[in-house]
């Protein structure tokens, strides 16, 4: 081999490293430019759940990291969606980023085209790296795989029970909920509106059929409520012994305070569930602070941001580099070896829920 050929081969071997270094430099410049532009805008406006802990934790975390203010608007999904709809009808655009549950994200933000693709904006390599996510890729809920990013997947109860009023062995299966002794003694979130109630009703319908949900929601005369916290408190204080819905975090606090409340996560005839909770995120189109919005969605999807969010909300993150068992009860962290029924799967949310909501409205004459 000639000296000239050896020199050429040595030169060629350096090209991949040089290209890689150049790419890294380009990415770093792009990131630095984004941070500078976001700081110039100075704030990002975020819609999220009416949760006092989240309302405090996210603005504090983002401000500490980048010195940028988060204007946090807390509200229920239907309320905030109505606000956006009214503003947009007048040509007003005030919100950059939104978190929400399956119903508001899919049937309002996505269906009414309030949002812009979020995937191209995720330029933080620790976010775009597929190995950092439990599904082996970024978990998007929408069919295009680019608009609605799922940040939580939490195992949830089938029912909440008052342990003083429901004795061990009285509820051995989902079908035991139809026992006449529970007539008028079951609480449920309203299954005719968006929220956890219709998610639970949809699951019962898909697994057991329309006759079952008629017996459960009509013949058993459940106490219908649109406030999940009130349902949880109702079980803990004995207003009714069983609730089909409630707040997991509130349950844990009430249980720690010594109240007789617990949850059943699986039945022999009904396996475990997972839910996104309010952990689905979208980037609004025509965002008033576009650079701060882009920076915020990268931060919240990073290990640091998502752990702050997950700890504040009490939900299991969809990143696999966050040890959720360090701050959450093990029963609500999905076991990768088990199969779960996903109550916020896209097909379920968009197709089945809509059908079941119509059935529930007919059954309950609403």
HEC profile of 166-209? CCCCCCCCHHHHHCHHHCCCEEEECCCCCCHHHHHHHHHHHHHC
| H or E element, residue 154 | strand 154-156
Mean pLDDT, the chain, whole residue set: 90
Q: Cα–Cα distance between 216 and 221 in angstroms, integer?
A: 8
CATH of domain 159-271+347-363: 3.40.190.10
Mean pLDDT over residues 336-354, rounded? 84
Q: Cα–Cα distance between 273 and 266 in angstroms, integer?
A: 8
Q: Cα–Cα distance between 97 and 314 in angstroms, integer?
A: 21
* CA nearest to 44, candidates 111, 122, 97: 97
By DSSP bridging, strand 341-342 and strand 149-150 are unpaired
Residue 232 token pair = 């949880």
At residue 110 the predicted structure's pLDDT band, cuts being 50, 70 and 90, is very high
* pLDDT value at 6 more than 80: no
Domains of the chain, by residue range, sit at 36-153+276-334, 159-271+347-363
Cβ count within 10 A of residue 174: 21
Contact 150, 140 (CB under 8 A): yes
At residue 82 the predicted structure's pLDDT band, cuts being 50, 70 and 90, is confident
Q: Cα–Cα distance between 242 and 234 in angstroms, integer?
A: 9
Q: Cα–Cα distance between 112 and 257 in angstroms, integer?
A: 43
pLDDT in tens, 26-68: 567 889 999 999 999 999 999 998 999 999 999 999 999 999 9
The pTM is what? 0.82
Instruction: Report which listed range, 73-77, 256-260, 296-300, is most confident.
Output: 296-300
Span of 34-38, 130-134, 204-208, 246-250 with lowest mean pLDDT? 246-250
Please name the CATH architecture into which domain 36-153+276-334 falls: 3-Layer(aba) Sandwich (3.40)
Instruction: Report which listed range, 203-212, 248-257, 294-303, is most confident.
Output: 294-303
Query: Would you say the CATH fold of 159-271+347-363 matches that of 36-153+276-334?
Result: yes
- SS3 of 344, please? coil
Tracing tokens 């990291």 back to the chain, one arrives at: 65
Write down the pLDDT at residue 20: 43
* CA nearest to 100, candidates 114, 90, 86, 89: 114
* CA 303 and chain centroid, separation: 16
Q: Cα–Cα distance between 79 and 315 in angstroms, integer?
A: 23
Write down the pLDDT at residue 103: 78
């Amino acid at each position: 081999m000639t000296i000239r050929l050896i020199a050429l081969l040595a030169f060629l071997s350096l090209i991949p490293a040089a290209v890689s270094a150049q790419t890294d430099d380009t990415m770093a410049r792009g990131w630095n430019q984004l941070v500078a532009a976001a700081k110039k805008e100075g704030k990002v406006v975020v819609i999220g759940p009416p949760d006092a802990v989240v309302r405090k934790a996210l603005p504090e975390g983002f401000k500490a990291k980048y010195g940028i203010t988060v204007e946090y608007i807390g509200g229920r999904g239907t309320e905030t969606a109505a606000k956006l709809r009214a503003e947009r009808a007048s040509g007003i655009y005030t919100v950059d980023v939104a978190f929400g549950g399956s119903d508001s994200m899919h049937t309002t933000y996505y269906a009414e085209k309030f949002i812009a693709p979020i995937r191209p904006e995720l330029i933080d390599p620790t976010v775009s790296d597929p190995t950092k996510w439990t599904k082996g890729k970024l978990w998007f809920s929408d069919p295009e795989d680019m608009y609605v990013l799922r940040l939580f997947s939490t195992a949830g109860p089938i029912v909440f029970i008052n342990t003083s009023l429901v004795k061990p062995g009285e509820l051995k299966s989902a079908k035991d909920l139809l026992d006449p002794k529970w007539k008028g003694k079951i609480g449920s979130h309203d299954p005719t509106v968006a929220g956890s109630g219709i998610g639970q009703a949809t699951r019962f319908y898909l697994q057991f059929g329309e006759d079952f949900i008629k017996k459960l929601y009509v013949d058993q005369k459940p106490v219908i409520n649109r406030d999940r916290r009130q349902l949880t408190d109702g079980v803990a204080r004995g207003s009714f012994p069983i609730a089909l819905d409630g707040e997991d975090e509130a349950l844990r606090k009430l249980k720690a305070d010594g109240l007789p409340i617990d949850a059943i996560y699986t039945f022999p005839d009904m396996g475990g569930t997972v839910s996104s909770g309010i952990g689905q995120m979208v980037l609004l189109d025509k965002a008033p602070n576009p650079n701060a919005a882009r920076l915020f969605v990268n931060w919240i999807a990073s290990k640091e941001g998502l752990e702050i969010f997950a700890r504040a909300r009490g939900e299991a993150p969809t990143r696999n580099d966050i040890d959720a068992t360090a701050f959450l009860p093990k029963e609500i962290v999905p076991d990768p070896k088990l199969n779960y029924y996903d109550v916020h799967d896209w097909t379920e949310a968009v197709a089945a829920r809509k059908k079941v909501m119509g059935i529930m409205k007919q059954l309950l004459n609403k």
